[in-house]
Structure 1
Amino acid sequence: MKILRLGSRKSELALAQTRLVMDAVGRAHPEYRLELVPIATRGDVDMKPFSETSDAFGLKGLFTRELEEALLDGRIDVAVHSLKDLPAAQDERLPLLACFRRGDPRDALALPAGVSAMNGAVIGCSSARRRLQALDLFAGAEVRPVRGNVGTRLRKLDEGQFSALILAAAGLARLGLSARVSRYFSVDEIVPAPGQGILACQGRAGDKNEDWLDAIFDPDAADCARAERAFSAALGGGCASPVGACAQLRGGEMKLTGFFADEHKGFKIRASLTGRREEARMLGETLAEKILKEAR
């Protein structure tokens, strides 16, 4: 029997997401024995890098490096990531093999358990992108960084440390916590992180994966990822950078909405472009160029 070892972060959400991929492969290819390999990443065990960065709302790569090292040294065959955690610049030795079907890309507002209306004005979130856009929606609110996995963040919310949280809708849904959502933000209200809701499967260059990739490859997710990551890369996007992008498909047409901000220069820019989905990468680069021209 063939063995396929899938690496995942140890968080409850990451494990749940990796099991979605494993279930899809297992149903399509029963000839494989699938093994889940949980791996602790630096971002899971050490919050110090966040306090040392100039922006307390995040850093890119802290949740992926150890998984990539496990790929390179052969401990796992595939790494399953939340695509939004992956830096725009990829190691050529570790290509993205496939994008799994996308969950809800939107951000959502969560309130304390048993509360139906926002009481107070302290909002917790994990990125500059969310913070800057939330300040436009909630006049006079204070937005503070919140760390930990989804369960930890919700516990802090229920303990009264925050009036509300902004979280990824897909993550809440995959944990069976959609009931905690008080409000879904439209893409025009809060532009999501590039790749939000998409699971990315990363492998080693030269490995033969064709016999199981068909079980997880989703062309819609792949095209959206291509546009959003091209946009982010053109802007030098990262988890600590206030960059958002969301591609929406309608048949052969793609609408890409982007967000970019610079607090020091005092601007926040939202813009969108529509084009053919087969030109996804070019659409992302063109939208980034348009925004950069407006920013100058």
Structure 2
Amino acid sequence: MSPVIRIGSRQSRLAVMQAEIVKRQIERLHPQVKAEIITMKTTGDKILDRSLETIGGKGLFVKELDRALLNGEIDISVHSLKDMPMETDERLPILAYSKREDPRDVLIVRPGKTEEEARKTGAVIGTSSRRRSLQLKKLYPNCVFHGIRGNVQTRLSKLEQEEYSATVLAAAGLHRLGMHGIIERYFEVDEVIPAAGQGILAVQGRRGEVWPYLEGLDDPEARTAALAERAFVKALDGGCTSPVAAYAQIKGTTLKLRGLYYEEGAQQYIVDTIVGEAEEAEALGEYLAIKMKEEA
């Protein structure tokens, strides 16, 4: 183990803030340990004029960090779990899941506008997420949805300078950035089902090593929810091109999983729920996915 733990992160302000959260937790739980953050720009951060589906999917947000881990340039990496591909390199397991932040999506309107104005006929809502746009069309049937990509600051800048009336972001990121004040509306999880893992940070490392400095970092409830949600998406072929969503809630030993599956042929999505024992998280996720796929 290095005298200083090197934490890999994307370069965006939010990514660095999230790496700082992990850094502070490590140093608080293990005062003898010091950590530093090493940032790098990923391919997904560089290509902003095309949707993720057309340029290679979510793996473009982790490729450079994975390479740095394998080369020994960093000791661990921190990601928003929702940005990680469902299939990860077996040499780089997820070691810890952070306590979940608010999992909801939120509406941000153009400065000077209100939600009422942003939902008028022909108003443009910026989102590159088909998961979001499919569900939002039921709430805002008169709006038009156009792609918008980039980090939080880039999207907010585009919202001010381009034709968008509003955009949709994850509440977790805005909360971590201390930007609660710009949120116009929170979408409840039964209105817009979040992306699998939304609000959870994942810590990744090299298989076969020991990580005593991560002891106490893993949140069991977040881990259980993440396993259920990611199992659901994996069973639907990874959700690489088709919109998919999953959100698990845990109460005691019971897990309730709500999932969204889009049937390309019928051009419509279905939503279903399963309840079971939390210890069967992955099995519940797989079962719900297979059931919904067969029904569709």
**Which TM-score band (shorter chain)?**
over 0.9
| Among 203, 206, 210, the residue aligned to 2:205 | 203
Q: What is aligned with 2:45?
A: 44
Deviation at 1:260, TM superposition (A): 1.0
The structure-2 alpha-carbon separation of the partners of 1:158 and 1:239, relative to structure 1 and needing over 3 Å to count, comes to farther
Q: What is aligned with 2:140?
A: 138
Give the length in aligned residue pairs.
291
Deviation at 1:192, TM superposition (A): 0.5
| Among 59, 62, 81, the residue aligned to 2:60 | 62
The answer to whether the 8 A contact 2:258-2:273 is kept is yes
Distance 2:158 2:278 in 1: 41
Deviates more, 1:150-159 or 1:34-43: 150-159
1:237 match: secondary structure = helix
Q: What is aligned with 2:254?
A: 253
Q: What is aligned with 1:97?
A: 95
Distance 2:3 2:177 in 1: 30
After TM superposition, the score normalised by the length of structure 1 is: 0.94
**What percentage of residue pairs aligned between the two structures are identical?**
48
Q: What is aligned with 2:196?
A: 194
Give yes or no for the alignment of 1:107 onto 2:105.
yes
Distance 2:228 2:101 in 1: 17
Report the AA paired with residue 93 of structure 1.
R
1:8 match: secondary structure = strand
The answer to whether the 8 A contact 1:100-1:218 is kept is yes
Deviation at 1:160, TM superposition (A): 4.8
CA RMSD of aligned residues (A): 1.7
Superposed, 1:174-189 pairs within 5 Å as 174-189=176-191
Deviates more, 1:224-233 or 1:122-131: 122-131
The answer to whether the 8 A contact 2:96-2:202 is kept is yes
Deviation at 1:131, TM superposition (A): 1.1
Q: String of CA shifts for 1:69-91, please: whole Å, max 9, x gaps.
A: 00000000001011111111121
Distance 2:200 2:244 in 1: 17
Superposed, 1:152-231 pairs within 5 Å as 152-209=154-211, 211-231=212-232
Deviation at 1:164, TM superposition (A): 0.9
1:62 match: secondary structure = helix
The answer to whether the 8 A contact 1:108-1:185 is kept is yes
The structure-2 alpha-carbon separation of the partners of 1:52 and 1:176, relative to structure 1 and needing over 3 Å to count, comes to closer
Q: What is aligned with 2:282?
A: 281
Q: String of CA shifts for 1:98-133, please: whole Å, max 9, x gaps.
A: 101111111111112243334242111131111111
Deviation at 1:24, TM superposition (A): 0.4
Distance 1:232 1:20 in 2: 27
After TM superposition, the score normalised by the length of structure 2 is: 0.94
The answer to whether the 8 A contact 1:93-1:204 is kept is yes
2:60 match: secondary structure = coil
Deviation at 1:223, TM superposition (A): 0.3
- For structure 2, the residue ranges without an aligned partner over 5 or more in a row are none
2:15 match: secondary structure = helix
Report the AA paired with residue 150 of structure 2.
G
Give yes or no for the alignment of 1:33 onto 2:31.
no
The structure-2 alpha-carbon separation of the partners of 1:140 and 1:244, relative to structure 1 and needing over 3 Å to count, comes to same
